[in-house]
């Protein structure tokens, strides 16, 4: 018989509460953060359920972004909190997580944009390694499958392979929001319902946008081969133009448009 309720071991429990804002602090905010540690076992030896820990902090003790608050919590309140981050300026893509119901980059998300408590969970529909760290091995393997490097058969020129400014615009976008600006944070793929249900075979918007980045690169000489690679009912055509990907991209890019461009090129080729 079909079972629609969550299994007991995936139910999220209330976790620990920490209040480190002084009584007279004027700028208090509560952060409700998803916690799960595969090494934490109950008395029967089973891995403990995930929980939501609550941290009330004084915003005057940290910077303005959600990542600043997480770093403050880790440094000064609870060193066990685990999350990824590197650049702190929206370049590396490693701090992607779900904040206040939207996939975004913690380093680009101002705390004061969130009304009420700040709820933070890992990117949805990816296995969790620990706390806010998702396992991206599958998504990265899909990215590798499109062979994201320049392929050429013609002899290499004495210096670099040049491209016209117009052709470069195709990649970078007139406004810097073209496919080459993607930082592979996977906020888009993990907001796509088609990727949630068919992510084993559908490549998802992040990888498809990268496929288009190489397909549309006028220096690349494997366009036909690249189109063959993605021409597949699951890899490409599971995209139903729902547009969640474009709506959620924290860099303001348009993966849905890139996917539509690939479909157009395939239609013209027939
Ligand atoms: S398109 Fe945007 S959301 Fe998707 S991986 Fe690239 S930067 Fe992230
Ligand atoms: S347009 Fe919709 S279905 Fe297509 S990749 Fe984006 S979110 Fe997924
Ligand atoms: S820390 Fe690099 S994108 Fe946020």
Does 169 share its domain with 123? no
153-164 burial code (b ≥16 CB/10 A, e <16): eeeeeeeeeeee
Judge contact between 79 and 221, C-beta under 8 A. no
pTM of the model: 0.95
Does 124 share its domain with 169? no
Given a cut of 90, whether residue 270 has pLDDT beyond it is no
Given a cut of 90, whether residue 3 has pLDDT beyond it is no
CA dist 5 → 47, 183, 196 (Å) = 19, 36, 18
Does 89 share its domain with 213? no
Does 106 share its domain with 33? yes
Q: What pLDDT is stored for residue 17 in this prediction?
A: 97
Does 13 share its domain with 126? yes
Among all ligands shown, which has an atom nearest to the Cα of 242? 2
In a domain, residue 62? The reply is: yes
Taking the centre of ligand 2 as the mean of its atom positions, its distance from the CA of residue 42, in whole angstroms, is 40
Q: Which H or E element spans position 121?
A: strand 118-121
Q: 23 is in which domain, residue-wise?
A: 8-134
Does 262 share its domain with 187? yes
In a domain, residue 2? The reply is: no
Look up residue 210 and give its two tokens: 């990268």
Q: What pLDDT is stored for residue 115 in this prediction?
A: 96
Domain count across the chain:
2
The model's pLDDT over 164-192, given as tens digits with 9 standing for 90+, comes to 999 999 999 999 999 999 999 999 999 99
Does 19 share its domain with 107? yes
User: Is residue 242 within 6 Å of ligand 2 at its C-beta?
Assistant: yes
Judge contact between 245 and 212, C-beta under 8 A. no
Given a cut of 80, whether residue 229 has pLDDT beyond it is yes
Taking the centre of ligand 1 as the mean of its atom positions, its distance from the CA of residue 208, in whole angstroms, is 11
Report d(CA 18, CA 73) in Å as an integer. Answer: 10
Given a cut of 70, whether residue 1 has pLDDT beyond it is no
Given a cut of 80, whether residue 202 has pLDDT beyond it is yes
Q: Mutate which of 94, 102, 180, 183 to test ligand 1's pocket (most atoms within 8 Å of Cβ)?
A: 183
Residue 93 sits in a domain of what CATH number?
3.10.20.30
Does 114 share its domain with 141? no
Does 129 share its domain with 175? no
Does 141 share its domain with 130? no
Report d(CA 86, CA 71) in Å as an integer. Answer: 11
Q: Mutate which of 66, 70, 95, 109 to test ligand 3's pocket (most atoms within 8 Å of Cβ)?
A: 95
Look up residue 94 and give its two tokens: 């490693």
In a domain, residue 65? The reply is: yes
Q: Beta strand 51-58 with 13-19: parallel, antiparallel or unpaired?
A: parallel
Atom of ligand 1 nearest to the CA of 189: 4
Q: Mutate which of 124, 253, 256 to test ligand 1's pocket (most atoms within 8 Å of Cβ)?
A: 253
Among all ligands shown, which has an atom nearest to the Cα of 198? 2
């Amino acid at each position: 018989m079909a079972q629609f309720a969550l299994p007991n071991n995936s139910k999220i429990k209330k976790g620990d509460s920490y209040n480190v804002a002084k009584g007279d602090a004027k700028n208090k905010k509560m952060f409700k953060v998803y916690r799960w540690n595969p090494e934490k076992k109950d008395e029967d030896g089973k891995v403990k359920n995930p929980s939501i820990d609550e941290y009330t902090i004084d915003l005057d003790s940290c910077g303005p972004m959600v990542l600043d608050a997480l770093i403050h919590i880790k440094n000064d309140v609870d060193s066990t909190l685990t999350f990824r981050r590197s650049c702190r300026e929206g370049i590396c893509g490693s701090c992607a997580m779900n904040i206040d119901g939207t996939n975004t980059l913690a380093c680009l998300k101002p705390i004061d944009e969130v009304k009420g408590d700040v709820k933070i969970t890992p990117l949805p529909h990816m296995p969790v390694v620990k706390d806010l760290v998702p396992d991206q091995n599958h998504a990265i393997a899909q990215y590798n499958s499109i062979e994201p490097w320049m392929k050429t058969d013609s002899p290499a020129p004495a210096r670099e392979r040049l491209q016209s400014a117009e052709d470069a615009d195709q990649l970078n976008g007139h406004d810097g929001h073209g496919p080459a600006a993607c930082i592979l944070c996977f906020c888009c793929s993990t907001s796509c319902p088609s990727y949630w249900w068919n992510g084993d075979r559908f490549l998802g918007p992040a990888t498809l946008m990268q496929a288009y980045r190489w397909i549309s690169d006028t220096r690349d000489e494997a366009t036909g081969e690249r189109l063959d690679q993605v021409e597949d009912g699951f890899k490409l055509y599971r995209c139903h133009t729902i547009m969640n990907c474009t709506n959620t991209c924290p860099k303001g890019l348009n993966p849905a448009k890139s996917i539509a461009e690939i479909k157009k090129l395939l239609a013209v080729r027939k």
